[in-house]
Amino acid sequence: MSVLLPLVRTILFGIGGTSVGLAQSSGMPREFEVASVKPNLVGGEARKAGASPGGIFTASNASLRLLISRAYGVAETQIEQGPKWMDTDTWDISARADTPLEMTREQLRPCLQALLADRFHLSIHLETKQEAILSLVIAKNGPKLKEHVGSGAFAISASSGNGSVSITGVKATMSRLAEYLAGRAGRPVIDNTGLPREYDFTVQWSAETDSSGLSPFAALEEQLGLKLNAAKGPVEIIVVDRAEKASVN
């Protein structure tokens, strides 16, 4: 199988899955206090979108499709229609919410949704379709995961070099891993492992596309004791009804 393609760029704060993350009350701010949105004039392959302490959110070289995926907690492949520039034009964003904390992925979503509605005039609706998915399950020899001990912040990041690709997780749940893999696989990944805790792990595979190296699927099974099985299931799709290029500020 080849749906999980070798990674050639680093993408932080990866999100995917089948359940749309509509804004929910969390006691945190529901919109940014200040925000700057500017067209990206540098380009490049690296795309970043993430949070820092002090309610800070920054994005660089981020397409509107990527921003929508962050705002609603879906894979980019779960976003349909919209203008063509939604993929080609990219943006740099610097925003701050009224909190001293580093906002989690879920806490950021209402703020991002409000930002997209205000600055991009984004309007969407949801549809549910039967789509091809991947089911993340435990391999026959059992999981090979190290449970996270102590404090620390959740993080999943990817890197490539010297002919290999690796994904490293810190304090990561299996549902977070499934969401991250969805971004790499180009289709929703559902966590069906039943593993409830947080884990530290690294999985590495060959960057070569031929059969000479270890594949992503084989690496997951050999190194983490996990498998990705192809399946069909209901997937929530975001349909973009309206979007305008953000005004520069």
38-64: pLDDT as tens digits: 998 886 656 777 778 888 898 888 999
pLDDT (0 to 100) of residue 144: 94
Domain count within the chain:
2
pLDDT (0 to 100) of residue 196: 92
Asked whether residue 152 falls in the same domain as residue 171, the answer is yes
Q: Calculate what percentage of the chain has a pLDDT beyond 70.
A: 86
Query: What whole-number distance in Å separates Cα of residue 205 and Cα of residue 169?
Result: 15
Asked whether residue 153 falls in the same domain as residue 227, the answer is yes
89-133 pLDDT, tens digit each: 999 999 999 888 888 878 889 999 999 999 999 999 999 988 888
Residue 200 · residue 171 · CB < 8 Å: yes
Asked whether residue 165 falls in the same domain as residue 199, the answer is yes
Asked whether residue 137 falls in the same domain as residue 112, the answer is no
25 domain-assigned: no
212 domain-assigned: yes
78 domain-assigned: yes
Asked whether residue 152 falls in the same domain as residue 228, the answer is yes
Asked whether residue 112 falls in the same domain as residue 179, the answer is no
107 domain-assigned: yes
Residue 157 · residue 168 · CB < 8 Å: yes
Is this prediction's pTM over 0.75? no
52 vs 210, higher pLDDT: 52
**Any idea which of 44-58, 80-94, 157-171, 220-234 has the lowest mean pLDDT?**
44-58
Q: How confident is the model at residue 4 (pLDDT cuts 50, 70, 90)?
A: very low
Residue 169 · residue 197 · CB < 8 Å: no
In terms of residue numbers, what domain contains 91?
Answer: 34-128+235-242
158 domain-assigned: yes
Q: Calculate what percentage of the chain has a pLDDT beyond 90.
A: 40
Looking at residues 205-217, what average pLDDT do you find?
A: 71
Asked whether residue 148 falls in the same domain as residue 218, the answer is yes
Asked whether residue 149 falls in the same domain as residue 177, the answer is yes
198 domain-assigned: yes
Q: What is the mean pLDDT of the chain?
A: 82
Looking at residues 125-145, what average pLDDT do you find?
A: 92
CA dist list (Å): 79 to 56, 124, 187: 26, 10, 11
229 domain-assigned: yes
pLDDT (0 to 100) of residue 159: 79
Residue 221 · residue 168 · CB < 8 Å: no
162 domain-assigned: yes
